[in-house]
Structure 1
Amino acid sequence: MKLYLTFIICLITIFSTVIAQEDTLKASLLVFSLIDQTEYVGKIESSESNFLNIITRENQKVRIAKEKIKEVVKYEDSDLSRREKEAIEMKGAVKDSITHKEYTDANLNRMIIFPTARPMKPGQGYIQLNELFFPYAAIGIGKFLTLGGGISIVPTFQKQVIYFSPKVTPLHSENLDLAAGVFYMTMTDFSNIGFKDGVGIAYSMTTLGDPNKNISIGFGWGFSGDNFSKKPVLILGGDIKIGRNLKLLAETWTPLGTNFMLGMVGFRVIGKYVSGDAVIIRPFSSHSGGSSIVPWFSLTYNFGYDDEF
């Protein structure tokens, strides 16, 4: 009797195991590899003596002759699963690199307003719109010369402002540049074409650092006609990259021998060809109880510059 019960228990155990395995197999996502290299991914719907009926993951019914089946494995253990995972990861990496591409700032030759000591390579240049009404353009000529200029387009002005800014960079290295230049501007009356006596600033500039973080320091001497100021203006500025395509900017102008300073701080958003600056400008003086803040916006299109990370 005991032997009989033991036999019955063994049969029940074996039968339950087989049923469980069959149910698991039917519920599992499988890869059916055929002799002719065809692969199906799906679940077993039913089994006949010579055929398997499966439902693919695309919800299509397929009837496969058992003699044509080379191998059946669980999807998670198959080479197909590994290949598809690699393809998904590769697609995600490509999408991420396109969506979050990092660019080098093409505006390395200028701070917020004042030039740095860095030159532009031959043929490199930019077209810039400041405060909507003050366009400016510059281009690199040779390895040392940068020429820039523009004219205001303020609709309410009878006389517009013309400005011109050449710069020479005799010393240029990876992390150090020395330059000198002039920024000159004058008024013009289009009803009586001609240039009036203008004003400007002659300057020398040193820039230290790399494209992601740098500082510029220089001195400028203001002039009007043939008359130059006796004391220079100290010009300080710099920027640092704080995001993939975002920079923090700062710039100050301080006439030596005075208690006045013009301070600027803001951000630059960097694109492959277009960048934009959003800045606030505030004058500081011990004689004034409070000074107003002036917003400054500029949009720049760069050309001839394709260096990127």
Structure 2
Amino acid sequence: MYNQISISITNNFSLGAGVIPAFLFAGAPTPAWIVPKISIPVVRDKVNVGTGAFLGAILGEGSAAFGLLYETTTFGSRDRNFSLGFAYGFAEDSWMNRPIINLSTMLRAGPKGYFISENYIIPYEQKSWDFGYMGDYQVKKKSAVVISLGGRSIIRNVGLDYSLWIPINAGIESFLAIPFLGVTIPIGKKE
């Protein structure tokens, strides 16, 4: 159960925090995180650049730190856009040596709806022994792909996001589609 709240501090800076309350299930270790983000319009309604971090720890397990530092560039308006981004992740004191790549789009599909797709190319290394050639240790660089297809409906100024997340080439032998549901509730006066 993924839970996150984000608040716009200014027009260009937001701060989020989240938790997966695993402690509710027999006191299991609990992931918690913060998400600061800066967004800068380069050309209004044409190009925006954003940078931020996803910084977390596993509480109850020696506070194992993890996170992502990312950049994203969005081309287009709020109603029709495409984003390209990259991120470097870390766990404890080890950094990824190749970036995660993000390709996303959002297209208005009516007066109160959008089509949304977020897609990730996630590099990883597969380590194994190659017994066919003198028992050499092999490290193969691979990439998993995660595709999401979904939408956003605006209902009385509340945003309802829904999608299916589909991992490809991730070592999963059968088809898997993970449902996602999110709610965005505005706080304060609408400008």
2:16 match = 148
**How far 1:287 sits from its partner (Å)?**
5.2
SS in 2 for 1:187: strand
User: Could you give the per-residue CA deviations for residues 268-303 of structure 1, whole angstroms, max 9, x where no partner exists?
Assistant: 111343111121111001855433111111122122
SS in 1 for 2:186: strand
State the one-letter code of the partner of 2:167.
Answer: P
**How far 1:161 sits from its partner (Å)?**
1.7
CA distance 1:279–1:286, shift in 2 (3 Å): closer
| Structure 1 residue runs without a partner (length 5+) | 1-132
CA distance 1:305–1:247, shift in 2 (3 Å): farther
What percent of counterpart residues are identical? Answer: 20
**How far 1:153 sits from its partner (Å)?**
2.8
Report if the CA contact (8 A) 1:205-1:219 is conserved: yes
Report if the CA contact (8 A) 2:18-2:32 is conserved: yes
1:254 aligned residue (111, 121, 127)? 121
1:164 aligned residue (17, 31, 34)? 34
Aligned 1:66-85 pairs, distance under 5 A: none
1:203 match = 70
Report if the CA contact (8 A) 1:217-1:234 is conserved: yes
Answer with 297-306 or 286-295: which moved more: 286-295
Counterpart-to-counterpart distance in 1, 2:69 and 2:38: 12
Counterpart-to-counterpart distance in 2, 1:195 and 1:245: 45
Report if the CA contact (8 A) 1:273-1:303 is conserved: no
User: Could you give the per-residue CA deviations for residues 216-241 of structure 1, whole angstroms, max 9, x where no partner exists?
Assistant: 11011111123211100111111111
Counterpart-to-counterpart distance in 1, 2:81 and 2:62: 38
1:293 is aligned to 2:177: yes
Aligned 1:228-307 pairs, distance under 5 A: 228-256=95-123, 258-285=142-169, 288-304=172-188, 306=190
Counterpart-to-counterpart distance in 2, 1:177 and 1:270: 23
Counterpart-to-counterpart distance in 2, 1:146 and 1:207: 17
**How far 1:259 sits from its partner (Å)?**
3.5
Report if the CA contact (8 A) 1:197-1:224 is conserved: yes
> Greater strand share, 1 or 2?
2
| Structure 2 residue runs without a partner (length 5+) | 124-140
CA distance 1:287–1:244, shift in 2 (3 Å): same
Q: What is the CA RMSD across the aligned residues, in angstroms?
A: 2.2
1:214 match = 81
Normalised by the length of structure 2, the TM-score is: 0.79
1:182 is aligned to 2:66: no
